[in-house]
């Protein structure tokens, strides 16, 4: 895990080396163990990395990495889990490796496979390759967007980075908010790819690569697609297949030269990951976060699971005073993120980072096993039969794009609400269809549940949840790995008909089947809880009045004070949460 940064002055002017190092160091929290940079002979290309040492801890594995004749250079953020097999294949073809780093397969893989390289990698990654012989720069991002990658083009130059900070703090960058992105934040709680909050800066979408040549011609390519299906399989065949796929994924994700810990809530997802490690006799280190005075806090369940699995367990309690973290989080969330679990995620990451460098996290399980509340609410509107997989109810508000938008909203902003919120000068920037991003990823031909799950992967998880986890963990120099997003496991679950793995009476029945022989009913039969904390943390009227009393967003003609006052009167706290988050971001960056 690390932070990467690079720049190519296509006009041929040499890079300012001291300026480049200054900008690279803005990613120091992502990689405190080492800093490395490479400049081309002419000085027009610069690559840099801040390293968090995980695999091959020696200095020789510091990046940038180079091929044998030093004509191909690469920086990589993340982990390549299938690197042992790829290394054997590449060595058999004559490539000579100089380190034990998993990232070195990127350099030699580029020599062998060129733009097909990302499709050969199983891992979480954001990478860049400079090929001096072909005068090309290639960047790519993993299939699900676990690792972030931003880029911008100015006249005569191209730059990329793991976070926005190196790009927007460059001397030639002009800070201008993208008004449509500003509007989109209130609809989605994030800025959908490929836009960012800034004009002229783009976010490389998941499963995409980009190549730019010496003439400045850019080609964007989607190198992988998730293909949903409706296959039926016997129940126990599904369970056994998931068991084997998870065992393989966990084994691959344990690839590390430092200890690996696990975020543990006592819920199905994290408990499954901990159980598989325990069964493979891996020494468990688990970390949980509880909430003071909340009867739904899961830290007690996590403690029970940890005791059963004989884990070295660490726990901490959050209280309402920790909302003050919102003032400092924008330093790391340099693109606004409206997820209400940003604070507890940051805190459990801080706890884990005192003990380990790498941690397992359960993201992806709810998406592939249909574990969210909106999945259950959707499916209560349908009757299943073998002959007809589902029957629509005429006018069912839960289905389709609008149904998904309501499920995601946490305070819905449709077009009319956006006009109430935003200053009149921004009304022209409100999309005609505020839910355009959901519509882009909505597949009409799918079973309604599978359509929701697909949008979960592409929208909610890919844009909001994974960004939250990346920023929270990296702020604490901690690498988060997500075994449930192993491509083979995700592809298998998406190939199945929902009636194979969904049961209205049992949440995530496949995982429940794996866990039931090992844990008491009190662990398995309780209602699912989100990692958010008690509502009163986020619905304190006095706190909101303090936060919203003197808004820079109002003074800068971005939002209407009238909306804020009326929302306070209505106690419309979920909509106001997004206003507070955006205000905190604005104060930090403008």
Q: Which residues pair with 126 in a beta bridge?
A: 77, 141
191 DSSP 8-state letter: -
**Tokens representing residue 340 in the block:** 């209400």
Say how far apart CA 168 and CA 161 lie, in whole Å. Answer: 10
For the chain, percent of residues with pLDDT exceeding 90? 83
Section 141-163 average pLDDT: 97
Q: Are 368 and 494 in contact (CB under 8 A)?
A: yes
Nearest to 30 by CA among 6, 61, 59, 4: 4
CA 190 to chain CA centroid, Å, is 11
- Which residues constitute the domain of residue 322? 235-372+409-537
- Residue in the block written with tokens 């005073």: 321
Inter-axis angle of helices 573-589 and 179-188, to 10 degrees? Answer: 140
Mean pLDDT of 148-168: 96
CB neighbours of 452 closer than 8 A, spacing ≥ 6?
A: 374, 375, 378, 404, 407
353 found inside a domain: yes
Task: Let me know if residue 577 belongs to a domain.
Answer: no
Place of tokens 């010496």: 214
In a domain, 557, yes or no: no
Q: How confident is the model at residue 172 (pLDDT cuts 50, 70, 90)?
A: confident
Read off the pLDDT of each residue in 475-498 and give the average, rounded to a whole number: 98
- Helices 299-308, 268-279: crossing angle, 10 deg rounding: 20
Per-residue pLDDT tens digits for 500-516: 888 877 889 999 999 99
Nearest CA to 83 among 132, 30, 127?
A: 127
CA distance 203 to 162: 10
- Say if residue 195 is in the same domain as residue 274: no
Exposed, middle or buried by CB within 10 Å (0-12, 13-18, 19+), for 354? Answer: exposed
Catalytic (active-site) positions: 2
**Cα angle vertex 50, ends 49, 54, to 5°?**
105
Confidence of residue 167 (pLDDT cuts 50, 70, 90): very high
Shared domain for 341 and 441, answered yes or no, is yes
Helix 487-494 to helix 235-253 angle (10° resolution) is: 160
Residue with the larger pLDDT of the pair 70 and 321: 70
| Cis peptide bond prior to 49, omega within 30° of 0 | no
Q: Does residue 392 have a pLDDT over 80?
A: no
In this predicted structure, what is the pLDDT of residue 394? 35
The string of pLDDT tens digits covering residues 527-556 is 766 666 677 778 889 999 999 999 999 999
* pLDDT band per the 50, 70, 90 thresholds, residue 391: very low
Average pLDDT over residues 268-288: 98
Q: List, in order, residues 6 or more apart from 221 with CB less than 8 Å away.
A: 115, 208, 209, 210, 211
Q: Please indicate, yes or no, if residue 576 is contained in any of the structural domains.
A: no
163 and 264 co-located in one domain: no
Q: CA-to-CA distance for 45 and 288, rounded, in angstroms?
A: 44
The CA distance from 313 to 493, in Å, is 31
Q: Angle at Cα 35 formed by Cα 31 and Cα 38, nearest 5°? A: 130
Q: Read off the pLDDT of each residue in 416-425 and give the average, rounded to a whole number.
A: 98
Q: Looking at residue 322, which CATH number applies to its domain?
A: 3.40.50.620
Residues facing 221 on adjacent strands: 209
Question: Are 323 and 422 in the same domain?
Answer: yes
Greater pLDDT, 504 or 385: 504
Answer yes or no: do 303 and 200 share one domain.
Answer: no
Upper half-sphere CA count for residue 182 (Cβ side, 13 Å): 24
Claim to verify: residue 287 and residue 428 sit in the same structural domain = yes
Cα torsion through 508, 513, 519, 523, rounded to 10:
20
Res 382: pLDDT: 52
pTM over 0.85: yes
Question: Which whole number is the average pLDDT over 192-218?
Answer: 98
- Note whether residue 578 is domain-resident: no
> What is the band of 525 on the pLDDT scale with cuts at 50, 70, 90?
confident
d(CA 417, CA 346): 31
Sequence-distant (6+) residues with CB within 8 A of 548 are: 564, 568, 576, 579, 580, 583
Q: Torsion over CA of 553, 554, 558 and 559, rounded to 10 degrees?
A: 110
- CB count within 10 Å of CB 88 equals 10
Strands, sheet with 150-154, edge to edge from the N-terminal-most edge strand: 34-39, 45-51, 2-9, 157-161, 150-154, 201-203
The reply to whether 251 and 172 lie within a common domain is: no
pLDDT tens for each residue of 14-63: 999 999 999 999 999 999 999 999 999 999 999 999 999 999 999 999 99
* The pLDDT of residue 531: 67
- What pLDDT, on a 0 to 100 scale, did the predictor assign at position 406? 86
Contact 514, 272 (CB under 8 A): yes
The count of other CB atoms within 10 Å of the CB of residue 321 is 9
Distance (Å, whole) CA 505 – CA 292 = 30
The pLDDT, as a whole number, for residue 580 is 98
The answer to whether residue 391 is domain-embedded is no
191 and 248, same domain (yes or no): no
Mean pLDDT of all residues in 162-171: 97
Token pair 């989605």: residue: 188
Of 193, 222, 251, the position where a domain reaches its end is: 222
Q: Both tokens of residue 163? A: 């976070």
Same domain for 216 and 69, yes or no, is yes
Structure tokens at 535: 């509502």
Task: Provide the number of structural domains found in the chain.
Answer: 2
Examine residue 65 and state whether it is found in any structural domain, yes or no.
yes
Phi, psi of 515 (to 5 degrees): -90, -30
User: Which residue intervals of 309-455 are DSSP H helices?
Assistant: 342-353, 365-369, 373-379, 400-408, 415-421, 436-440, 448-455
Mean pLDDT value of segment 442-465: 94
In the chain, what percentage of residues exceed pLDDT 70?
95
| Per-residue confidence (pLDDT) for residue 71, from 0 to 100 | 98
| CATH number of 10's domain | 3.60.20.10
Examine the fold and report which residue of 191, 222, 253 is the final residue of a domain before the chain moves on: 222
Are 59 and 24 part of one and the same domain?
Answer: yes
Q: Are residues 31 and 60 in the same domain?
A: yes
Q: Are 138 and 110 in contact (CB under 8 A)?
A: yes
> Among 496, 515, 537, where does a domain finish?
537
CA distance 370 to 30: 32
* Any domain includes 562: no
| CA distance linking residue 373 with residue 377, whole number of Å | 6
Q: 311 and 280 in one domain? A: yes
For residue 166, give the nearest of 259, 252, 50, 13 by alpha carbon. 50
Instruction: Please give the pLDDT value at position 389.
Output: 37
Q: Report pLDDT digits (tens) over 75-111.
A: 999 999 999 999 999 999 999 999 999 999 999 999 9
The pLDDT of residue 485 is above 50: yes
């Amino acid at each position: 895990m690390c932070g990467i940064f690079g720049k190519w002055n296509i006009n041929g002017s040499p890079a300012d080396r001291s300026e480049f190092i200054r900008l690279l160091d803005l990613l120091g929290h992502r990689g405190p163990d080492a800093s490395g940079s490479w400049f081309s002979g002419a000085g027009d290309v610069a690559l840099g990395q801040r390293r968090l040492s995980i695999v091959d801890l020696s200095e020789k594995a510091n990046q940038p990495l180079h091929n044998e004749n030093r004509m191909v250079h690469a920086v990589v953020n993340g982990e390549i889990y299938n690197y042992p097999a790829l290394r054997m294949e590449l060595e058999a073809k004559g490539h000579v490796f100089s380190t034990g780093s998993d990232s070195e397969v990127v350099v030699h893989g580029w020599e062998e496979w060129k733009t097909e390289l990302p499709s050969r990698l199983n891992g979480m990654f954001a990478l860049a390759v400079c090929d001096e012989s072909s005068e090309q720069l290639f960047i790519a991002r993993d299939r699900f967007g676990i690792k972030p990658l931003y880029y911008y083009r100015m006249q005569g130059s191209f730059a990329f980075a793991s976070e926005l900070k190196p790009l927007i703090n460059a001397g030639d960058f002009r800070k201008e908010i993208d008004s449509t992105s500003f509007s989109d934040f209130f609809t989605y709680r994030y800025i959908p790819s490929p836009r960012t909050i800034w004009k002229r800066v783009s976010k490389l979408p998941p499963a995409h690569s980009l190549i730019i040549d010496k003439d400045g011609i850019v080609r964007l390519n989607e190198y992988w697609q998730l293909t949903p299906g409706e296959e039926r399989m016997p129940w126990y065949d599904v369970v056994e297949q998931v068991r084997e796929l998870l065992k393989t994924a966990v084994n691959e994700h344990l690839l590390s030269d430092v200890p690996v810990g696990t975020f543990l809530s006592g819920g199905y997802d994290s408990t499954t990951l901990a159980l598989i490690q325990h069964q493979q006799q891996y020494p468990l280190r688990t970390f949980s976060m509880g909430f003071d005075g909340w009867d739904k806090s899961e830290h007690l369940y996590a403690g029970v699971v940890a005791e059963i699995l004989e884990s070295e367990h660490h726990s901490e309690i959050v209280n309402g005073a920790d909302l003050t973290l919102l003032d400092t989080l924008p330093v790391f969330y340099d693109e606004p993120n409206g997820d209400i679990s940003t604070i507890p995620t940051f805190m459990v990451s801080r706890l884990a980072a005192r003990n380990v460098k790498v941690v397992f996290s359960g993201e992806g399980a709810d998406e592939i096993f249909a574990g969210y509340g909106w999945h259950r609410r959707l499916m209560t509107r349908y009757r299943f039969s073998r002959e007809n997989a589902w029957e629509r109810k005429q006018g069912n508000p839960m289905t389709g794009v609008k149904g998904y938008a309501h499920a995601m909203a946490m305070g819905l902003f449709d077009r009319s609400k956006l006009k109430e919120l935003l200053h009149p000068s921004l009304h022209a920037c409100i999309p005609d269809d505020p839910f355009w991003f959901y519509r882009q990823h909505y597949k009409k031909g799918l079973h309604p549940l599978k359509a929701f799950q697909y949008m979960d992967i592409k929208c909610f998880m890919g844009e909001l949840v994974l960004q939250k986890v990346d920023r929270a963990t990296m702020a604490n120099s901690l690498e988060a790995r997500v075994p449930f997003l192993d491509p083979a496991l995700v592809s298998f679950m998406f190939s199945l008909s929902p009636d194979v793995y969904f049961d209205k009476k049992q949440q995530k029945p496949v995982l429940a089947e794996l866990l039931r022989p090992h844990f008491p009913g009190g662990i398995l039969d309780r209602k699912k809880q989100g990692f958010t904390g008690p509502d009163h943390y986020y619905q304190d009227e006095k706190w909101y009045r303090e936060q919203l009393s003197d808004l820079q967003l109002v003074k800068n003609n971005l939002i209407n004070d009238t909306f804020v006052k009326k929302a306070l009167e209505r106690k419309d706290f979920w909509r106001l949460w997004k206003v507070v988050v955006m205000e905190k971001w604005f104060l930090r960056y403008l």
